[in-house]
């Protein structure tokens, strides 16, 4: 007889960000003796330290051989799009159904997406729908924005049609998880059913996982070359209302400061990288490093003295580690939850940013109070209340039936 408090769950993993935000939930499920399975639907990240940890705790990687064989040997040879659609349906409703059935999957979890997902997701989501299995769309990031026109795509649509994007096909999921009431309200504007949207804390940045992640990185990754004083700058999505020219100018000025090493980390989505000529230009300014994909952000934060960020949720990690975070919000037109939060140092100009770096570096400017930071993290990533078990709340959600009971 099956245990009603345990579900056999399948996670669909597509990108680095999926792993970053799903691994805490996968670990929690596996460590609670849930049969926890995962499939890579695009790139294989088996060597990732978080995936290895999930496997150490009982998680199992599945290889849908028939589906993989079809994608590698047949699909790309089909010349007409209509043929691809026909064959995709056949693969979903035959090998896909068999795959879920033979592994006795009870719940399927994927990233924020439309009803049948991206890349190879449909070969698992379509049969899940046919078999009436609960499906959940989980965060692959953190929605930071207070304004609706936060990127060029949405701004263009609003300017040309006066309408928000249509997310109504996401109502297909049994539940769609977000991390703030503001994000829920935004999705309702996009024609999502508010009853489908559940607000939970951030699995990626919650205290329980942050502590585990810190321990994993300590054992898994060698420290980078130390510097006299190190500043870490996280690049944003360039098409998120960012002034690229102003951003490069600030990077140059920071690099020109004496006895400082500037680490510039590209956005994990690949949409915030620098061109080779920009990198060459910055290297001429001073000691500048460009950590690659294998050098994980939490480890970079740990070896840095100061963090500069204005368009990424990785600032939550920096706050967890009690690093001073500078938020040069003048570099973009957007408004985020970090602005005027009291947990970070807001700057409105290049000069102010450089002066602040010098002040923090010299000790003339005091760090933010722990109490303020804790309150901000509790409100934004820890479920809004002290002692909230964020990861358990995800498992509790998976235990609900399709009617939310």
Query: What SS3 string covers 326-389?
Result: EEEHHHECCCECCCCCCCCEEECCHHHHHHHHHHHHHCCCCCCCHHHHHHHHHHHCCCCCCCCC
Q: Give me the count of residues in the chain.
A: 405
- What are the strands of the beta sheet with 36-40, ordered from one edge? 60-61, 36-40, 9-13, 107-111, 135-138, 175-178, 197-199
Are residue 112 and residue 198 in the same domain, yes or no?
yes
At residue 165, φ and ψ (nearest 5 deg) are: -55, 155
Are residue 66 and residue 126 in the same domain, yes or no?
yes
Decide if 61 is inside a domain.
yes
Contacts of 246 (CB under 8 A, 6+ apart): 330, 331, 350
**How does residue 222 score in pLDDT terms, banded at 50, 70 and 90?**
low
Mean pLDDT along residues 79-102: 94
- Could you report the per-residue pLDDT of 283-304, keeping only the tens digit for each? 999 999 999 888 899 999 999 9
| Range(s) of the domain holding residue 302 | 223-380
Decide if 113 is inside a domain.
yes
Q: What is the CATH number of the domain that holds 321?
A: 3.40.50.2000
- Terminal CA-CA length for the chain: 21
In sequence order, the β-bridge partners of residue 13 are 40
Decide if 3 is inside a domain.
no
Are residue 198 and residue 248 in the same domain, yes or no?
no
Are residue 35 and residue 139 in the same domain, yes or no?
yes
The predicted structure's pLDDT at residue 220: 66
Are residue 161 and residue 133 in the same domain, yes or no?
yes
pLDDT at 4 over 80: no
**Structural domain count, the chain:** 2
Decide if 211 is inside a domain.
no
Are residue 365 and residue 391 in the same domain, yes or no?
no
CA distances from residue 205 to 20, 238, 255 in whole angstroms, order as listed: 10, 24, 29
Are residue 57 and residue 195 in the same domain, yes or no?
yes
Are residue 71 and residue 103 in the same domain, yes or no?
yes
pLDDT at 403 over 60: no
The predicted structure's pLDDT at residue 1: 42
Decide if 1 is inside a domain.
no
The predicted structure's pLDDT at residue 232: 97
Please choose, from the candidates 399, 397, 343, 405, the residue with its C-alpha nearest in 3D space to the C-alpha of residue 176: 397
Take residue 120 and report the two structure tokens written for it.
Answer: 């190879």
Are residue 197 and residue 262 in the same domain, yes or no?
no
Are residue 375 and residue 390 in the same domain, yes or no?
no
Q: Are 391 and 24 within 8 A, CB to CB?
A: yes
Decide if 330 is inside a domain.
yes
If one compares 285 and 401, the residue with the highest pLDDT of the two is 285
Decide if 197 is inside a domain.
yes
How far does CA 246 lie from the centroid of its chain? Answer: 26
Q: What is the pTM of this model?
A: 0.92
Are residue 245 and residue 178 in the same domain, yes or no?
no
Are residue 32 and residue 178 in the same domain, yes or no?
yes
Q: What is the CATH number of the domain that holds 69?
A: 3.40.50
Decide if 265 is inside a domain.
yes
């Amino acid at each position: 007889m099956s245990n009603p408090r345990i579900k056999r769950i399948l996670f669909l993993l597509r990108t680095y960000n999926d792993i970053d935000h799903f691994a805490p939930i996968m670990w929690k499920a596996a460590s609670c003796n849930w049969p926890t399975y995962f499939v890579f639907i695009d790139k294989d990240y088996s060597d990732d330290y978080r995936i290895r940890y999930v496997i150490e705790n009982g998680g199992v990687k599945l290889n849908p051989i028939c589906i993989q064989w079809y994608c590698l040997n047949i699909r790309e040879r089909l010349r007409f799009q209509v043929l691809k659609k026909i064959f995709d349906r056949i693969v979903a409703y035959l090998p896909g159904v068999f795959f879920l059935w033979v592994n006795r999957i009870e719940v399927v979890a994927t990233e924020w997406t439309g009803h049948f997902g991206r890349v190879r997701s449909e070969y698992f989501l379509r049969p899940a729908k046919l078999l009436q299995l609960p499906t959940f769309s989980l965060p692959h990031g953190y929605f930071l924005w207070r304004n609706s026109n936060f990127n060029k795509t949405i701004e263009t649509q609003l300017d040309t049609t006066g309408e928000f994007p249509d997310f109504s096909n996401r109502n297909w999921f049994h539940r769609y998880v977000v991390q703030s009431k503001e994000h829920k309200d935004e999705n309702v504007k996009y024609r999502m059913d508010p009853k489908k949207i559940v607000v939970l804390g951030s699995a990626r940045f919650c205290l329980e996982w942050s502590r585990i992640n810190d321990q994993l990185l300590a054992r898994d990754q060698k420290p980078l070359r130390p510097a006299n004083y190190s500043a870490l700058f996280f690049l944003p999505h360039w098409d998120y209302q960012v002034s690229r020219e102003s951003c490069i100018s600030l990077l140059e000025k920071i690099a020109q400061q004496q006895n400082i090493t500037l680490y510039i980390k590209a956005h994990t989505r690949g949409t915030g990288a620098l061109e080779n000529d920009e990198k060459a230009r910055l290297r001429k300014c001073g000691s500048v490093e460009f950590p690659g994909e294998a050098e994980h952000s939490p480890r970079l934060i740990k070896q840095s003295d100061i963090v500069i960020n204005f368009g990424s949720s990785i600032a939550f990690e920096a706050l967890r580690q009690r690093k001073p975070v500078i938020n040069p919000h003048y570099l973009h037109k957007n408004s985020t939850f970090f602005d005027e939060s009291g947990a970070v140092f807001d700057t409105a100009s290049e000069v102010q940013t450089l002066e602040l770096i010098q002040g923090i570096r010299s000790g003339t400017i005091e760090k933010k109070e722990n109490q303020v930071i804790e309150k901000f993290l509790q409100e934004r990533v820890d479920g809004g209340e002290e002692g909230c078990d964020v990861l358990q709340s995800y498992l509790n959600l998976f235990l609900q039936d399709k009617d939310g009971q």
